[in-house]
Amino acid sequence: MDYTTVVASTSSELAPLQYIAPYSGCAIGEEWMENGEDVLIIYDDLSKHATAYRTLSLLLRRPPGREAYPGDVFYLHSRLLERAARLSDELGGGSLTALPIIETQAGDVSAYIPTNVISITDGQIYLETEMFNAGFRPAVNAGLSVSRVGGSAQIKAMKKIAAPIRVELAQFRELASFAQFGSELDADTKEKLAQGERIREVLKQPQYAPVPVEYQVIILYAATRKHLLDIPTEKVLEFEEALFEYIKTKYPEIPESIKETRVLSDEAEQKLIQAIGECKAKFSAAE
């Protein structure tokens, strides 16, 4: 909290105070940005902000529109979020990154306020209650989450390895729904279901446990190249820890190469395949 400022307007505050709070926080962030600092501002959440503005507008007898929001509710959030910027070196080189949070009602991402904010931002991460309750954390729905920056923000190794994951997860969700009603599944469908389960497992992440990008590449390579199909689903996270430890001890040059060159070279890939095979043999023997 040493580098954090909290501007709070709770639900017990009057609607005008809830309405003005995000703009006050943004003004504080802009001061640091203009002094050359890099600032992250989190708006939690803009759904409540829109509700406060709707209350204010109705009290002012402005004509209500869709879902009783006033006609300028889009401008309400666009003028706030478009204050996020990256300044040129001549202006100090500071930046302000905005992370708005929106609450969906019953998971409806197509409602008025969510679609407004989605159209303004550079993408969205959609968190699903059902996945969270099922133990998949972070509970990111890959089908509804979008990045307009995309692969431009990834290193080449990650771009190459992670490319098929989104499609495989989407196929897995469809097949999993179908499999609930199908008594007999062919071998190909069973393999896709098993593959999807293992990809979902490696995407689980404990709280306060960041994974360096070079090790993300390593475990995603193992998952996408079907090296984990013979590892029981409930043992995948345990194997992931064992693989990281084995590579740190026996093959430290693999993550070092990925970190330095930002690509997975043919030589590093061959060593990685060998390391995965050796670790699997050791892991199975210990069972």
**Contact at 8 Å (CB) between 208 and 234?**
no
| Cα–Cα distance, 126 to 124 (Å, whole number) | 6
100: in domain = yes
Q: Write out the two tokens for 139.
A: 């509970």
68 and 168 inside one domain: no
Which of 178, 239, 244, 186 lies closest to 210, judged by CA? 244
Calpha distance 114→94 (Å, rounded) = 29
Alpha-carbon distance 43 to 77, whole Å? 11
Rounded Cα distance between 102 and 33, Å, is: 25
How many structural domains does the chain have? 2
CATH of the domain at 202: 1.20.150.20
Are residues 76 and 50 in contact, defined by beta-carbon separation less than 8 angstroms? yes
148 is an active site residue: yes
141 lies in some domain = no
Other Cβ atoms closer than 10 A to 127: 17
Residues 184, 86: one domain?
A: no
User: Do 278 and 209 reside in the same domain of the chain?
Assistant: yes
Asked whether residue 245 is assigned to any structural domain, the reply reads yes
117 and 3 share a domain?
yes
CATH number at residue 39: 3.40.50.300
Model pLDDT for residues 89-103, shown as the tens digit of each residue:
999 999 999 999 999
Evaluated on CA atoms 173, 179, 181, 187, the torsion sign reads positive
With cut-offs at 50, 70 and 90, classify the pLDDT of residue 236: very high
Quote the domain boundaries for residue 56. 1-121
In a domain, 66, yes or no: yes
| Residue of higher predicted confidence among 287 and 63 | 63
- To the nearest whole percent, how much of the chain has pLDDT over 70? 99
Do 159 and 65 share a structural domain? no
Q: Which of 62, 83, 86, 148 is catalytic?
A: 148
| 198 shares a domain with 80 | no
Same domain, 101 and 168: no
Asked if residue 191 is part of any domain, the answer here is yes
Average pLDDT (25-37) is 96
Let me know if residue 197 belongs to a domain: yes
- The span from the CA of 264 to the CA of 216, in Å, is 12
In a domain, 140, yes or no: no
Q: How far is CA 86 from CA 37, 76, 183, 221, in A?
A: 10, 21, 55, 34
What are 27's two structure tokens? 């003004």
Is the predicted pLDDT of residue 216 greater than 80, yes or no?
yes
Whether 183 and 66 map to the same domain: the answer is: no
Q: Residue 82 falls within a domain, yes or no?
A: yes
